[in-house]
Amino acid sequence: NAGVTQTPKFRILKIGQSMTLQCTQDMNHNYMYWYRQDPGMGLKLIYYSVGAGITDKGEVPNGYNVSRSTTEDFPLRLELAAPSQTSVYFCASSTGVGETQYFGPGTRLLVL
């Protein structure tokens, strides 16, 4: 059981470039989440999904897009990278609302 896996671990992007952060879970969880973590700010929810084909915005969705075509995968897309998107990104999954969230190891993104 790998849990939640994220790729890549680290990436440097130039302003205006695009990329997809991959997230996969093998626990058959319906709920999946994307967070960003900035120093001293805790985690902020970007997008979440309650099941395949269903996604919704979190607190800080601007500049990001998601899709959920399968239960296992929940990729996060950055279309036009900006320096403000420099952060550490975490994917998580859970069985439902209020349940324990299981986190991936994170992707560190630097936009220059």
Q: Which is nearer to other proteins, 1 or 14 (CB)?
A: 1
Dihedral of the CA atoms 111, 47, 35, 90 (nearest 10)? -80
CA dist., res. 87 & res. 99, Å (int): 26
Q: Which of 51, 100, 110, 112 binds other proteins (CB under 8 A)?
A: 100
Is the bond leading into 8 cis (omega within 30 degrees of zero)? Answer: yes
Nearest residue to 68 (alpha-carbon basis) of 81, 59, 60, 56: 56
Tell whether residue 40 is a contact of other proteins (CB under 8 A). Answer: yes
Q: Is residue 20 at the binding interface for other proteins, with CB under 8 A as the rule?
A: no
Which residue from 18, 53, 59, 110 is in contact with other proteins, where contact means CB under 8 A? 59
Does position 62 bind other proteins by CB under 8 A? no
Binding residues vs other proteins (CB under 8 A) = 4, 31, 33, 35, 40-45, 48, 50, 56-59, 90, 92, 97-98, 100-101, 103-106
